[in-house]
Amino acid sequence: MAASGPKSSGPRGFGRRTTVGSAQKRTQKKNGEKDSNATSTATNEVSGISKLPAAKVDVQKQSSVVLNERNVLDRSDIEDGSDRLDKKTTDDDDLLEQKLKLERENLRRKEIETLAAENLARGDRMFVYPVIVKPDEDIEVFLNRNLSTLNNEPDVLIMGAFNEWRWKSFTRRLEKTWIHEDWLSCLLHIPKEAYKMDFVFFNGQSVYDNNDSKDFCVEIKGGMDKVDFENFLLEEKLREQEKLAKEEAERERQKEEKRRIEAQKAAIEADRAQAKAETQKRRELLQPAIKKAVVSAENVWYIEPSDFKAEDTVKLYYNKRSGPLTNSKELWLHGGFNNWVDGLSIVVKLVNAELKDVDPKSGNWWFAEGIYVKLSYLFERTCFFLIHFCGNISFNCHLIY
């Protein structure tokens, strides 16, 4: 018997068929979705990773800008603080300087007031401040007008000099001071050469306080003494003499130069006068020749251009048939100016002009070219020519221009 069991609709050994394709598609679809999701996730992660450096750079740039702005603000604050500190320091220095200056002035006034009181108690009407006077410094001279012979004078002046009245005199007006008991004062500068100051007070006219005819004087410490000053005066005198000698030498040089220029002018005037006289003399000598002078000789000679002047170059034409040189083979022109006073000035050989429009029977014209008309100081110019053949046959001609 066959064993019992559950019934089956198919033969034994065969199970239910599964559709492989659809299952695989579903599996692939699911796997595809997973892969797609995974790929998308991976891509996003990679994109995020790739964006990290740029974001880092942006963050760094923003941090740098913030830091730069903060540094600029910090530097600005520091500079402002430094400027305020410098200004405060300068202001403090100015205030301190003003305070010290005021304290020095107050101290000076107290010292002067003490000196005024002490001198007044002793009956002394004059003192100087500072008490020890040094060369090349300023001092202040004080006078009590009530104790002076100038007590009724509205104006009080000081007149003096240094080193027993031998060096740099001065005159100053005294002004009223802040000190009680009618004290007057003025400022004076002590020269570096001084060892003593001598002075008197007066009203600017004829009333004086000269210390009972003994004059007032103040010794100057720390500079020259009397011997040094005497030597200084000798050196000063030598320098002054040298200066005077140089000035005198310069004056003499200028006088000599003036005499030389005047002599030169006189010589020039004399030369001009002599030249004028010689010119006049030459004119007088030329008068007979000038009267005979012609500008050309018809059918004998002429000059081109006919209106020439000094320093022109001209041609002289000569008719060989007009004179004794008809048969000459060579013709030479010798010439001079102003009645031959300068001697022979022109030596030129003539050549045949070969003029076609001239009748050979009446004329045989030759010419000399390149004749330079010499410049002269005379107003009248006379040119003399000697035309000759080999020095044997010749004749003279002259013209005025």
Domain containing 181 — which CATH number? 2.60.40.10
- Mean pLDDT for the chain overall: 78
Q: What is the pLDDT of residue 14?
A: 34
| 230 touches 221 (CB < 8 A) | no
* pLDDT, tens digit (0-9, with 9 covering 90-100), for 24-68: 444 444 444 444 444 444 444 444 444 445 544 454 555 555 455
Look at the chain and report how many structural domains it folds into.
2
Q: How confident is the model at residue 11 (pLDDT cuts 50, 70, 90)?
A: very low
Considering the domain boundaries, does residue 73 fall inside one? no
Query: Containing domain of residue 306, as a range?
Result: 301-400
Q: What is the pLDDT of residue 92?
A: 84
Burial (0-12, 13-18, 19+ Cβ within 10 Å), 194: buried
> Is residue 133 located within the same domain as residue 220?
yes
| 336 touches 286 (CB < 8 A) | no
| 378 touches 284 (CB < 8 A) | no
Full-model pTM: 0.47
Task: Give the residue from 202, 229, 256 where a domain finishes.
Answer: 229
* pLDDT, tens digit (0-9, with 9 covering 90-100), for 82-111: 677 777 788 888 889 999 999 999 999 999
Considering the domain boundaries, does residue 335 fall inside one? yes
Task: Give the residue from 179, 209, 229 where a domain finishes.
Answer: 229
Comparison of pLDDT for 354 and 189, the residue scoring more: 189
* pLDDT, tens digit (0-9, with 9 covering 90-100), for 288-334: 766 776 767 888 888 888 777 777 888 888 888 888 888 888 888 88
DSSP designation for 2 = P
* pLDDT, tens digit (0-9, with 9 covering 90-100), for 219-230: 999 999 999 999
Comparison of pLDDT for 380 and 285, the residue scoring more: 285
How much of the chain exceeds pLDDT 90, in percent? 44
Rounded Cα–Cα distance for residues 135 and 221 (Å): 7
Q: What is the pLDDT of residue 27?
A: 45
Burial (0-12, 13-18, 19+ Cβ within 10 Å), 257: exposed
| 320 touches 302 (CB < 8 A) | no
Rounded Cα–Cα distance for residues 327 and 13 (Å): 176
Considering the domain boundaries, does residue 275 fall inside one? no
Kindly report the CATH number assigned to the domain that includes residue 373: 2.60.40
Considering the domain boundaries, does residue 96 fall inside one? no
Phi first, then psi: give them for residue 134, nearest 5 degrees.
Answer: -120, 155
| 156 touches 201 (CB < 8 A) | yes
> Is residue 309 located within the same domain as residue 223?
no
Considering the domain boundaries, does residue 144 fall inside one? yes
Q: What is the pLDDT of residue 7?
A: 40
Rounded Cα–Cα distance for residues 348 and 186 (Å): 101
Q: What is the pLDDT of residue 8?
A: 39
Considering the domain boundaries, does residue 164 fall inside one? yes
| 341 touches 389 (CB < 8 A) | no
Rounded Cα–Cα distance for residues 137 and 197 (Å): 13
Q: What is the pLDDT of residue 340?
A: 72
> Is residue 309 located within the same domain as residue 224?
no
Considering the domain boundaries, does residue 108 fall inside one? no
Q: Provide DSSP, 99-140.
A: HHHHHHHHHHHHHHHHHHHHHHHHT--EEEESSSB-TTSEEE
Residue reference for tokens 């003994």: 214
Q: Provide DSSP, 160-183.
A: EEETTTTEEEEEEE-EE-SSTTTE
Q: What is the pLDDT of residue 29?
A: 46
Please list, residue by residue across 301-324, b when 16 or more beta carbons sit within 10 angstroms of its beta carbon and e when fewer do: bbbeeeeeeeeeebbbbbbbbbbe
* pLDDT, tens digit (0-9, with 9 covering 90-100), for 145-186: 999 999 999 999 999 999 999 999 999 999 999 998 899 999
Q: What is the pLDDT of residue 172?
A: 97
Comparison of pLDDT for 68 and 144, the residue scoring more: 144
CB atoms inside a 10 Å sphere around CB 104: 10
Q: What is the pLDDT of residue 73?
A: 52
Q: How many residues does the chain have?
A: 401
How much of the chain exceeds pLDDT 70, in percent? 68
Comparison of pLDDT for 380 and 112, the residue scoring more: 112
Task: Give the residue from 192, 214, 229 where a domain finishes.
Answer: 229
Considering the domain boundaries, does residue 75 fall inside one? no
Query: CB under 8 Å to 316, separation ≥6 — which residues?
Result: 301, 302, 303, 333, 367, 368, 371, 385
